Amino acid sequence: MSVEREISPRTIERLSLYRRLLLPHHEGEDSYIFSHDLAELAGVTATQVRRDFMQLGCMGVPRTGYRIGELLSGISGILDAPAGQRAALVGVGHLGAALLNHFSGRWRWLHIHAAFDRDPDKAGSVIHGCHCFPMSELSTLIRERKIDLGIITVPRDHAQEVANQLIEAGVQGLLNFAPIRLRHGDDIYVENVDLTSAFETVAYFARCRRPSLFISESHRGFPSLDDRKLRGDDVKS
């Protein structure tokens, strides 16, 4: 069981977004939402919302919409590992500490379980509720506590070395904030969060903004709200 068909990364990102947007609307068993209303919140088209939910096997009802509770459990069925998942963060600097503050202990099913830093002042302390350990304990702890994700927030020149240690210890996925691309085998999934690219990309497109040349808000798949009709996308004319 677990995962039946391959779901595209873009869809997975949107499901994560949909869940966040839906949660505040989930009031009781009988709350419903229309595809175009969620589409507006998410900055995508209603068609895309419907198509994404098709993959979940969630069916809506014309003139009623989708039952929010059903959507939420459908999404959780895809995104959340039944047994939960644990991450280790390496590099408790400015960015690492911000991430610890935000993510550690936020959800039951996915959380940052331990942090590591080579700085002896940090190792041993508790940062935002998360224990920070010395690097020497990384391998043992990751194995013992069945941590399967790594978050890399060390400086550029240490990122590959840290990635190697994490992979060696058995993690299957990496979230990399260092401004390089890591070398790794096929069996590891790496998601790069490239804040420098993001910053430079905004700068470029903001500059090139003579109206009607660049349409899309973001290539991640969230077109501008104003590009679409405000309600519904396929109304008969």
Ligand X SMILES: NC(=O)c1ccc[n+]([C@@H]2O[C@H](COP(=O)([O-])OP(=O)(O)OC[C@H]3O[C@@H](n4cnc5c(N)ncnc54)[C@H](O)[C@@H]3O)[C@@H](O)[C@H]2O)c1
Instruction: Tell me if 163 contacts ligand X by CB under 6 A.
Output: no
Interacting residues toward DNA by CB under 7 A: 8-11, 34-36, 44-48, 50-51, 53-54, 58-66, 219, 221, 223, 231-236
Cα–Cα dist 65/232, whole Å? 12
Residue in 18, 34, 66, 177 binding ligand X, rule: CB under 6 A: 177
Q: Which stretch binds a copy of itself (CB under 8 A): 55-63, 79-87, 115-123, 129-137?
A: 79-87
- Give the nearer residue to a copy of itself in terms of CB position, either 18 or 66: 18
Helix or strand run (H / E) with residue 21: helix 9-22
Selected from 195, 229, 231, 234, the binder of a copy of itself by CB under 8 A is 195
- The Cβ of residue 26 has, within 10 Å, a number of other Cβ atoms equal to 15
What H or E segment, with its residue span, contains residue 64? none
> Which of 59, 95, 61 lies closest to 115, judged by CA?
95
Residues between 59 and 98 that touch ligand X (CB under 6 A): 90-96, 98
Interface pattern 104-123 for ligand X (x via CB under 6 A): -------------xxx--x-
Q: Which is nearer to DNA, 103 or 222 (CB)?
A: 222
Of residues 11, 48, 153, 160, which one binds ligand X by CB under 6 A? 153
Query: Among residue numbers 133 through 172, which ones bind a copy of itself (CB under 8 A)?
Result: 148-149, 151, 171-172
- Residue 99 binds ligand X (CB under 6 A): yes
State which residue, 136 or 201, has the beta carbon closest to a copy of itself. Answer: 201
φ, ψ dihedrals at 111, nearest 5°: -150, 165
Task: Output 65 or 77, the one with its CB closest to DNA.
Answer: 65
Query: 193 and 16 in contact (C-beta within 8 Å)?
Result: no
Evaluate the CA torsion angle 211, 213, 216, 219 in order and state its sign: negative
Counting contacts by CB under 6 A, is residue 221 touching ligand X? no
HEC sequence for 128-150: CCEEEECHHHHHHHHHHCCCCEE
Shortest distance (Å) from residue 228 CB to ligand X:
25
Instruction: Give the separation between CA 75 and CA 194, rounded to whole angstroms.
Output: 26
Number of chain residues interacting with ligand X (CB under 6 A): 28
The C-alpha atoms of residue 227 and residue 36 are separated, in whole angstroms, by 14
